[in-house]
Structure 1
Amino acid sequence: MKTILIAGGNSGIGLQAARDLHADGHRVVLMGRDPRKGEAALASFGNHADRASFVAADLSTHDGVRDAARRILDRHDGIDALVHSTGVLTLQESRTTDGLHPFFAVNYLSRYHLTQLLLPVLRQAERPVVVMMTAAIPPTDDTDLARFPEFTAFNFGRDRKAVQLGNHHYAAHLTGTEPGLAAAVVNAGAAKTDIMRIAPWYMRAGTKILGPLIFDSVETSAHNVVEAVRRDDWQTPVYWGKPGRFEQRTPIVLDTTDTRRLMDVSRTLTGA
């Protein structure tokens, strides 16, 4: 039986992945901001909820990530897999208490920060796995990373790709620095989840009309994440770009100079 921590596991794709892995007999630890959603998520596991637990956490700030990591380390001697499904969708200019744009803080930096803090327990696993979910963003060196990490006057159309590509660079970094650890990035697809609640009105209207035609099911979107945790027959680091198609994957090969710079920046920001 594995212990699997799923950040963002109290709803949407993360919760579906948790249910699938829980059904395999594994222990799942759900992490999310809303305790009410956490309680509802735990109730959905029915008679075997004893293998599921919830940790309330705000991963948009450095202090929130540190607090979450402390509680996980206090409760668990080992974690076999860490799944990052937490994400926010915001197009507006705003800043967290750390002076960072929330899209960057949650969709990339919190993943780096939390994983780094949990490496002591991940290293106890026979083959630790770290999976990060993003929108469709293949590993490529043609992205302008000059605005990373400040993203001053954040522009979603211009900055989204650089933020999410940070996940690929971190997967490459983990593979190169943590022997035996398997790291991957998974395209979450176009599943209709709670992340759309804060999208602009025109995006919400469009998804309401076109949803039946364009959306993947949460089961399809969770499939590659679940298989990555279940199986050990894949090479790392790797990117799954097609929801539901585990055999179609792309090796993550990036400029090592860019990877080092992004990791140095991440370390400076978080101290981890």
Structure 2
Amino acid sequence: MTNDLSDRTILLTGGTSGFGRVAAVDLAKRGATVAVVGRDESKGATLVERSSDLAGTIAFHQADLASQSTVRSLATTVKREYDQIDVLAHNAGLSAGSRRESLDGIEITLAVNHLGPYLLTYELLDHLRDAPDPRVVITASDIHRRATLDLDDLQLTDGYDSLEAYARSKLANIAFTVELDDRLPDDSAVTVNCVHPGFVPSTELFREASLPTRLLVRIAGLIPGVATSKQAAAERLQTLLVDPRYGSVSGQYVGKDGPADPASEATNQAVRQRLWEMSAELVGITSDWPAPSTT
């Protein structure tokens, strides 16, 4: 893996806590400029302050990725403040304990975990294309295997279950990865991959989940060999962000031992194309993207 990252600028959502925070610090230690996106301004300020003596730089951008207007404002800020982005890393995640909607009227787990990455990628893809090794990386999860995408009820209006909502959003992440890779022009240098970081019970991901789900997570974390440490998860994420192997591999779901086959629904062409079209409609953009590069 590349040790000197002084020429890399990495936009990392979900980088103020959990293994995202570990990854942000590790990348800055190796010289990278890391633009961390998070909701909590105090956590962001603390991260920046504690990282001031690292070889690289950590900057914080406050944003609620459930809000489409905020995602667009974030993209505008990024394009203004950074000449280019080398890596767009979608690591923010949410598991809501009960069904609620964003200000845009979208079920919150779908809004944060899937539509946020979908829209931010749309807004920043051209800014990414000029980088020498441009990458889009999404944090998915093996929990996607328990889900199906009910495209007639994508937002779980009929019988909400927090774990099902989260699993569906992770399935959507993988379907988006495969579909974006399929849509990128053959001569595009951009790679897009997603990673299963492992089961990391020490994160704040399930802070809003129901009591039974939180208890299940706690119990599972006590079983030897089941849990993944924040450091190990951060290293898996960083592998996709900067390892040369993933500069030429695209459209992959990557686990502990490398690329793996996801659930068949994630690669089903009809499902992923319909999800793409529905996602475009939900965020108010054309589904006919990405456009060919003009350079």
**TM-score, normalisation: structure 1:** 0.89
Distance in structure 2 (CA, Å) of the matches to 1:182 and 1:174: 9
C-alpha distance after superposition, 1:6-47 (max 9, x if no partner):
011111111111112112211100000011000111123141
Do the aligned residues in 2 keep the contact of 1:139 with 1:254 (CA within 8 Å)? no
Moved more, 214-223 or 129-138: 129-138
Distance in structure 2 (CA, Å) of the matches to 1:135 and 1:156: 15
Partner of 2:96: 90
Task: Quote the sequence identity (%).
Answer: 28
Alignment of 1:189 with 2:191, yes or no, is no
Distance in structure 2 (CA, Å) of the matches to 1:160 and 1:207: 14
Matches within 5 A, 1:217-232: 217-232=229-244
C-alpha distance after superposition, 1:71-114 (max 9, x if no partner):
11111120000111111111312111111111110111101011
- Match of residue 157, structure 2, among 147, 152, 155: 152
- Which SS does the other structure have where 1:146 is aligned? coil
Do the aligned residues in 2 keep the contact of 1:2 with 1:80 (CA within 8 Å)? yes
Partner of 1:66: 72
Do the aligned residues in 1 keep the contact of 2:181 with 2:251 (CA within 8 Å)? yes
Moved more, 60-69 or 103-112: 60-69
C-alpha distance after superposition, 1:41-80 (max 9, x if no partner):
1123141376110000011111121121111111112000
Distance in structure 1 (CA, Å) of the matches to 2:161 and 2:144: 20
Distance in structure 2 (CA, Å) of the matches to 1:254 and 1:202: 31
Q: Check 1:138–1:238 CA distance in 2 against 1; reply closer, same or farther (3 A cut).
A: farther
Q: Check 1:215–1:57 CA distance in 2 against 1; reply closer, same or farther (3 A cut).
A: same
How much is the aligned-residue C-alpha RMSD, in angstroms?
Answer: 2.3
- State the AA in 2 paired with 1:149: L
Alignment of 1:249 with 2:249, yes or no, is no
Moved more, 158-167 or 213-222: 158-167
Alignment of 1:237 with 2:259, yes or no, is no
Do the aligned residues in 2 keep the contact of 1:122 with 1:128 (CA within 8 Å)? yes
- Structure 2 residue runs of 5 or longer lacking an equivalent are 1-6, 286-295
TM superposition shift of 1:150: 3.1
Distance in structure 2 (CA, Å) of the matches to 1:168 and 1:210: 24
Do the aligned residues in 2 keep the contact of 1:137 with 1:187 (CA within 8 Å)? no
Distance in structure 2 (CA, Å) of the matches to 1:18 and 1:75: 19
- Match of residue 30, structure 2, among 13, 16, 24: 24
Distance in structure 1 (CA, Å) of the matches to 2:154 and 2:218: 33
TM superposition shift of 1:206: 4.7
Q: Check 1:157–1:33 CA distance in 2 against 1; reply closer, same or farther (3 A cut).
A: closer
**TM-score, normalisation: structure 2:** 0.82
Partner of 2:139: 133
Partner of 1:7: 13
Q: Check 1:17–1:131 CA distance in 2 against 1; reply closer, same or farther (3 A cut).
A: same
TM superposition shift of 1:205: 4.1
TM superposition shift of 1:160: 3.7
Do the aligned residues in 2 keep the contact of 1:237 with 1:251 (CA within 8 Å)? no
- Match of residue 275, structure 2, among 256, 262, 269: 262
- Which SS does the other structure have where 2:235 is aligned? helix
- Match of residue 201, structure 1, among 211, 235, 245: 211
- State the AA in 2 paired with 1:128: P
C-alpha distance after superposition, 1:179-205 (max 9, x if no partner):
221111111322211223222234434
Q: Check 1:207–1:263 CA distance in 2 against 1; reply closer, same or farther (3 A cut).
A: closer
Alignment of 1:174 with 2:186, yes or no, is no
- Match of residue 221, structure 2, among 208, 211, 232: 211
Partner of 1:39: 45
Q: Check 1:189–1:95 CA distance in 2 against 1; reply closer, same or farther (3 A cut).
A: same
Q: Check 1:256–1:209 CA distance in 2 against 1; reply closer, same or farther (3 A cut).
A: closer
Distance in structure 2 (CA, Å) of the matches to 1:151 and 1:232: 39
Do the aligned residues in 2 keep the contact of 1:138 with 1:241 (CA within 8 Å)? no
Equivalent residues, number: 267
